[in-house]
Structure 1
Amino acid sequence: PRLNGGTAKVLKGEFQATLPRLRDENVSLSYVKCDGDMYSSTFECVQFLYPRLECGGYIYFDDYHEFGECQRAVKDYLTQTNQQDVAEDMFSVRQGFGLGVYDRTLTKAKYEAVFWRKECERKEA
């Protein structure tokens, strides 16, 4: 997928108030960042936006390794939609201390976020 600067739109606000505004729009997304910090907001984000993500698009969960509820929401969604195999394709992001700078020595780095690329065709079980 390509990010088209002419059609890119950033929606700011609480998920439960912001996401319904997209309901009637024919929206396809190439990148989604879910930064919900809690189970309910993370689940709402993935539940509403992941189906609209183009094949080849990326979804990013900022606090996946920081907040257990965020991780649980993602796993619950994948289980409910029979997509547990997606977990095999997740990439964890290391964050350094300070300003979120990547620590190249990895001595102070820790895993914080996770992302994956949506497949164009699902693997057959």
Structure 2
Amino acid sequence: MTTPVTASPESADSAASPAVDLYLDIMAKMLTRYGFEGRNVTVRFEPRSYEGYLWNLVRIATRDRDIRVVEAGEFDAERREIGKDWPADAETMIGMKRLRNVRECLESVIADGVPGDFIETGAWRGGTCIYARAIFKAHGITDRKVWVADSFEGLPPPDGRFEADAGDQHHTKIELAVSVEKVQDNFRRYDLLDDQVEFLVGWFNETLAPAPIEQISVLRLDGDMYASTIDALEPLYDKVAVGGYVIVDDYGAVKGCAQAIHDFRESRGITDEMHQVDWAGVYWRKS
């Protein structure tokens, strides 16, 4: 009989050396451009604003070019810490605190011997998955994979299955569509693209169920919408090992995502305590 693991990631003794700590701290700062980016920050337009409409037309007309609107702005350490801004050139927008959560969870399962791979469903430019691969490499882990699951075409429009997604506008944000080739280039930038990294290209309801993933130690959900969250949980949750973690990026940011988490946990009778990471992210440990 398997004994449930109840320790939090903060209590796990990963026995990281000073060199490992330094490398992973610098990696987190680089992936978020924490203090490195200068004065350029991405301009965010309101979804139904006139400016947002015009910018979307420009993006459609220049889909094959990396064109962005940025503005001068002083680096705000507090906002970058909690992923409240959108760094123009970073590989991730989740901020330092949510990246630390990924490290804590991965080092916890490594220290406790919880088996399984890391998977993120919704990867954008790949920064969080790059960090997961860096963590495995820093700790000499050669028998776990990092799965990068994304459409690499942005988010789908609401398909009518779930009322919580009615009117969702994520599919209009073309800047969320990053090609698999670009993400692979981002891995190469850090010398972290190897045979421990696997890409699942396509919509979650088509790719995740047949994916050859045997066991998961950390499942990170970053699908924004109700559908994208449920379509990841349904085929993957049962593969999460006892003592593994489920991390939800958008719980505090998108109502549809939070509703999907509540509905799924209720339907499965999941009572494991949810812990808050920052204003958006939460996680729980599977018992």
- The alignment's TM-score, normalised by the length of structure 1, stands at 0.70
* Percentage of pairs with the same residue: 29
Query: Take 1:52 and 1:20, find their aligned partners in 2: how far apart are those partners?
Result: 11
Paired position in structure 2 for 1:70: 257
Paired position in structure 2 for 1:21: 210
Structure in which a larger fraction of residues adopt helix: 2
Q: RMSD of the alignment, in Å?
A: 1.7
Q: CA deviation at 1:17?
A: 2.8
Paired position in structure 2 for 1:10: 147
Paired position in structure 1 for 2:282: 114
Q: CA deviation at 1:5?
A: 3.4
Contact kept in structure 2, 1:92 and 1:115, CA below 8 Å: yes
Select the structure of larger CA radius of gyration: 2
Amino acid in the other structure paired with 2:274? M
* Structure 2 alignment gaps of length 5 or more: 1-113, 118-140, 151-202
* Structure 1 alignment gaps of length 5 or more: 95-110, 120-125
Amino acid in the other structure paired with 2:242? C
Larger RCO (CA under 8 A, 6+ residues apart): 1
Report runs of 4+ in structure 1 exceeding 6 Å deviation. Answer: none
Q: CA deviation at 1:26?
A: 6.2
1:91 pairs with one of 253, 275, 284: 275
Amino acid in the other structure paired with 2:285? R
Query: Take 1:64 and 1:19, find their aligned partners in 2: how far apart are those partners?
Result: 21
Cα deviation digits, residues 37-79 of structure 1 (max 9, x gap) = 0001101111221111000001101000000110100110111
Contact kept in structure 2, 1:11 and 1:18, CA below 8 Å: no
1:55 pairs with one of 231, 242, 248: 242
Label 1:18 to 1:26 Cα distance change in 2 as closer, same or farther (>3 A): closer
Label 1:35 to 1:77 Cα distance change in 2 as closer, same or farther (>3 A): same
